[in-house]
Structure 1
């Protein structure tokens, strides 16, 4: 009996010690409809490697703007998560506010960091003032989604390469009885498609520290949007509804982030889906903005175990093994060399629709944040202006450009 009691005491002592060694970290991310399946797919391998770390998932952010706004509020209330996923263009404000923590001390302890697939070209997306503040988790580029059944029924056999060709396809579809031939992603987070049209002309929206909304390239972008919206009779529908309508076979062409490809494929109707490179303004785009997000350490815990657990989670989800699930479950590209070149060596050849964005990687440019504390407000001003084009409320693009320049100037640090 004495031996039995001793054994029980030892077992209880061991289980108590294990419980004490367990660490819980809190994690928040955007776009549940895109990433829920990704994190679910990652968790078994993570728990196998780190059985003592529990990841508590917070309610997801609606968008990258919502994610940044939420974290800014949580910093004031003292309720920050340990790790947050933030849009690549929203990291700088968190660094400037002292919310994002440098990952340099953790990286310095890693002897095999470069071997895990992290290199300067990838880390530069989250490097601010020569220090790494986030590890890029997923990178996207804008692409075209095509319902080839609808295209062929309208007499179109090849994918359009310019917006003029897109408009021609719209007209053929309309002549064939298609009510809604196109959805063009003007509403995507961070004015991403406006930046895509400007980068297509090799012009950044923030040039040498100043907004370039008054540039000829910005006017050309607004005019290009107007042509697409009006000549294609594009309906002003909410983007989630548009994704559902395209997947259901009701929209002929959709221009959106490659990130949605996994979601579209999971709900796709009975039609041939093909993705194609983002069309250009009369020629191949000279550049395109990198979309996506990065894992940022925002923990306020002073417990070294929590900090190390948060780093273990960040490192795993962005490593070759973790990042591979990004490509498999979404349309994002893992910004990790090991994932793309080793683990996914055969994946893209077997999944050509997901390879489209990878083929555009030479065009990758920065997704730019707007200067000062009013970056989110500037994003909304531009969003509202573009919506006026969609609804037909704005018809004179030079006049709209001037209005946007004036409104945005009032929100900039130096006018």
Structure 2
């Protein structure tokens, strides 16, 4: 198994301790042989009904037709926190899922807890599985201390969607979308002043992941390299919130939440929106205008970094035989056929690079769908989605989310809002 050199992590997650008391699942000697899977059933806990139920159902059906193995799909809820909570409850009951979908920013917690099974041992003895089908930056998302834990299943980046019809109406060139924050601001002003739309732009500032994208492309970070000090309240973070607040204050951007922002864009009230690439298929189905995409605009002197959001499929079974069966099922979901099914049904990046390049799978589909061009191009800028040390990551994210809202809505100065969130986060860190 190829090792992937990574910085050695010296901390232990508190949440991981909670799980590790129950887990004990990283068995070092699973069966090396490929089992007879006919008649076997593997359970897979997942989240997001609207995104994954249909493609997962198709992949499971295809797997059963080929091998006789059934995959029991168990919906935990509509967030990765829901599937993580389900895993914790099932570990407590002594009956963990064979495979669990978790957010890419949650894999590290399971690794430190010993609740995620390294998959290298299965890959080494599997002549049918080709690790070379996956790009290095994709594998890096679930690689820790040189070991691959689970597989990325669906990976998204933040992209800009825009209404080309409104660009034309405002006298802008729809073939030359904004590339920088300054470009966005100028285009938004032209759109509003021309009366083409009520607002020029909307960013999904409710999402802390969205903030991280802007922050990192502005040269900032959530914490320092040692992960001892919080840094999201440094100049780079303040500039992100000042930019969003300036857009709102000048009437170029509404202070809408996620659902309202998307609806305003679909109505034609907003000309440009920055949102997850996972929504590409939804945008294509819903937009009744010339929909186009562009890579995430960055500061004029910035360098694009795209934290890869989305999820991984992690083997969480504790029994060695169940782990081997889980691997046989898991690889179907990230195979060329599985990756094709998920990509076509959503807007996620194809995790299987071979599928993306093969006419048998996705190459023709992707080349015929220009709205996915920006998604593919931005895949080259993938970096790991930041995950907070300790068990209080969701609480920290909530503090930061509230601070972002206070700043963008004008309730608090950006620097003060981020300082307040940083103080609260410091108290929540181990």
Query: Please, what TM-score do these two structures have when normalized by structure 2?
Result: 0.83
In the TM superposition, what is the alpha-carbon distance from 1:358 to its structure 2 partner? 1.2
Q: Could you report, residue by residue, the CA deviation over 1:107-151 in whole angstroms, capped at 9, with x for unpaired residues?
A: 221124336613544322111222221101122111100111122
Residue 362 in structure 1 maps to residue 380 in structure 2: yes
Matched residue, 1:193: 210
Instruction: Give 1:254's aligned residue.
Output: 273
The count of aligned residue pairs is 387
Match of 2:363 in 1: 345
CA distance in 2, matches of 1:74, 1:387: 35
For 2:386 and 2:81, the matched residues in 1 are separated by: 14
- Give the alignment partner of residue 164 of structure 1, picking from 175, 182, 187: 182
Conserved in 2, the CA contact under 8 Å of 1:234 and 1:390?
A: no
Alignment of 1:197-212 (within 5 A): 197-208=214-225, 209-210=227-228, 211-212=230-231
**Could you tell me whether the CA contact under 8 Å between 1:160 and 1:166 is conserved in 2?**
yes
- 5+ residue gaps, structure 1, are 1-19
Q: Does 1:220 align with 2:239?
A: yes
Pick the aligned partner of 1:45 from 62, 75, 82: 62
- Cα–Cα, structure 1 residues 182 and 73, in superposed 2: closer, same or farther, change >3 Å? farther
Instruction: Give distance in 2, aligned partners of 1:178 and 1:118.
Output: 42
The answer to whether the Cα contact below 8 Å between 1:170 and 1:232 also exists between their aligned partners in 2 is no
What's the counterpart of residue 133 of structure 1? 149
Written as runs of structure 1 = structure 2, the 5 A alignment for 1:26-175 is: 26-51=43-68, 53-114=69-130, 117-118=133-134, 120-157=136-173, 158-175=176-193
Who is 2:351 aligned against?
A: 335
How far apart, CA to CA, are the structure 2 residues paired with 1:373 and 1:68?
Answer: 12
- Measured in 1, the distance between the counterparts of 2:191 and 2:135 equals 45
Distance 1:115 1:392, change over 3 A: closer
Please tell me the root mean square deviation across aligned C-alpha atoms, in Å. Answer: 2.4
Give the alignment's TM-score, normalised by structure 1: 0.85
4+ residue stretches of structure 1 with deviation over 6 A? none
Partner of 1:324: 340
- Structure 1: how far apart are the matches of 2:332 and 2:340? 11
Cα distance change of structure 1 residues 241 and 399 upon mapping to structure 2, 3 Å threshold: closer
Instruction: State the match for 1:272 in structure 2.
Output: 290
Moved more, 137-146 or 291-300: 291-300
> Residue 361 and residue 389 in structure 1: after superposition, are their counterparts in 2 closer, same or farther (change >3 A)?
same
CA contact (8 A) 2:42 2:72 kept: yes
The structure-2 alpha-carbon separation of the partners of 1:404 and 1:104, relative to structure 1 and needing over 3 Å to count, comes to same
Cα distance in 2 for residues equivalent to 1:85 and 1:114: 22
Moved more, 225-234 or 83-92: 225-234
The answer to whether the 8 Å contact 2:189/2:252 transfers is: no
Give yes or no for contact 1:185–1:193 (8 Å, CA) kept in 2. Answer: yes
User: SS of the residue aligned with 2:75?
Assistant: coil
2:38–2:67 contact (8 Å) kept in structure 1: no
Q: 1:407 to 1:367 in 2, by over 3 A?
A: same
Q: Gapped runs of 5+ residues in structure 2?
A: 1-36
CA deviations on 1:94-117 (whole Å, 9 max, x unpaired) are 222232222232122112433661
- Provide the rounded CA distance (Å) in 1 between the counterparts of 2:165 and 2:136: 43
Supply the distance in 2 between the matched residues of 1:351 and 1:228 (Cα, whole angstroms).
31
